[in-house]
Structure 1
């Protein structure tokens, strides 16, 4: 899925309107898809058929009114909290409000934030502001967003946002000072860049796509910032396993890892390689790995014997280097000598990244995969001050191109960089991964 800025999304929609597309048709298509998402979600979560919609005054609110009408016809209990007077609504929003009223829909005009009062087990649909919102959230709207977030937390209510959580900047991913804290974001047409950077990931919840009918030719005109890979498409890309394969067909992984006091990192990486499907895993270390699990083959080789180590590398299908290797200056010298001579797929992590940051003249194996977290990446880039995610992505992409390496920038989301392609981002994982050893496990995987 292509990821673009909210600004570019507005521009390609404007081109579609110029060519004769109907904003009302787009709204009807969007609302149909949103309604289906809500019905499925409420049914799957076994929630009562009750939805409260918080409506602003633009076309995002118009989407909300059409959804309200759909759900009302499905016998849902629908209540719309209208935040602005009718005369401030966009023309299309007012039209959809009037149509909802004709269906005997219930609209409560809010004059005071205390008038907003949700019941237990009600689903909340955020239709306050869309991707055009920029700047600081203040006054009445700030009070409204604070009230919605607080009540949702206290009553354990789920919030769905139409296209983007209200008050999240779709270009920068920043909030000032807060935005709607969504359980799901039902995004329309294309994913917005602001979902994936800075504050965005903390507010979007789970992303669900709805097609509102924008022709593909307009989508192709927009500049891609990232590519978004969801779990469904990712699963379809996994290779099929040959049921008759033997251990060497499953893959031989060689690790150069571990040192006194740091053998746990090497063992975690090796075990992860096994658990991920490798047929055999061997570790080269300077000293014997204590209490190694039975399946692990450990070669103890002096790191001065480069040629002996390279002979073992020739037998492997892939190699990982780094977990627990130590930050000793002798290790940096060893890496400087051996890395240019390795010609297998190689994952570089942990202490290798530290030494590489000290000596960027190191020649790396062709098509190496580096797996830094953000602070490690900043160290590689020699950046010692806070920077926005957008700048970090741009600089990491350039580093990938300059060094001709793949980079898995760990975090939430995780972004994967290719020297000749746009970055790919994945929403996955949770704060539990911010634990010592999980990076070593990823290296082995």
Structure 2
């Protein structure tokens, strides 16, 4: 590891602080506002909840883990389904419960260690479920890109905006250098927005009318909705935590490598998972989507070698302030649907591809019938939209059902591989094997 420019507890100068914090804010911005856009929640609340959630995470991890928490893509389909069945309140209850599950898992890890969760969520289960998350949303992305917003009518004009956005996003991803390569989504949205302005599909009126400072549309329990927990909400939202917990562990391992610390041991996996869960619960209490650590921000750390938690804290504070600026919120809301559709085509595909990458990196042998069975069942159940419906109040749908079936198959089928005592042991053994192969 190269020597950091600013280490974990280093405090930057005021100008550095603002500049570096804005950099992290821009890295997460595009993806974080895309989630509420897709599920019909307030982008302003998404910014505020990401800021408050990140602050909570930093406090719980004792200001040792430089991570930023943004909107989770894994919950898009469940939130849409929850809103359709019980309104925004149902989605918020489900979000809070998903965060609560994180807290329970954190408590168990503190008492019993982490090996059990690694056995419960191996790559052969998590990889295919991540693929399902991306591909199950493919139809949504294409409809947003091709059709007149709010209809099923094809429009070449709107589709052209999606294609320009997609091309720009791909261009920034492939040819962008330095920080630009970290914000391809934001760059693509900006290019798509400018093109949409040129072809006349942007309504700039709300931006002109918006006040500089505005109170966002918070969704508060017992004020905006009655809190009623039922089995349907639990089964719709909570199982998705299976996927996001694995995502969290993966991010912590990568972050540990980037900054040269073992975050699984100190401050401990239980603290980082609890921080993630607390951020999600805070989001659920004010009307935002569930939270997760962001790979984009880890990428910024790797490129800049600035690991200061104060920089992440600054990004969280600025994001929270942005949520109360009406002009910014109105500008976000004015982004045309096909622009978001163009970004989504690439982003949802990348989510699916990251699931395939997990399988490849973990060297999953599909000549092994056990692995073939688990992955095949997860993919068809999840992408096909299968569901178990006992009554209107009791049903398990799509991705949640696929995740549960995957976990069960992994437990009951013979031939389950052992998990390394130390989470870094497997990587060490892999490097040793590679050296022996060379020799």
Question: TM-score, structure 1 length as denominator?
Answer: 0.20
Larger RCO (alpha carbons 8 Å, 6+ apart):
2
The structure with the greater share of residues assigned to helix is: 2
The structure with the greater share of residues assigned to strand is: 1
Question: TM-score, structure 2 length as denominator?
Answer: 0.21
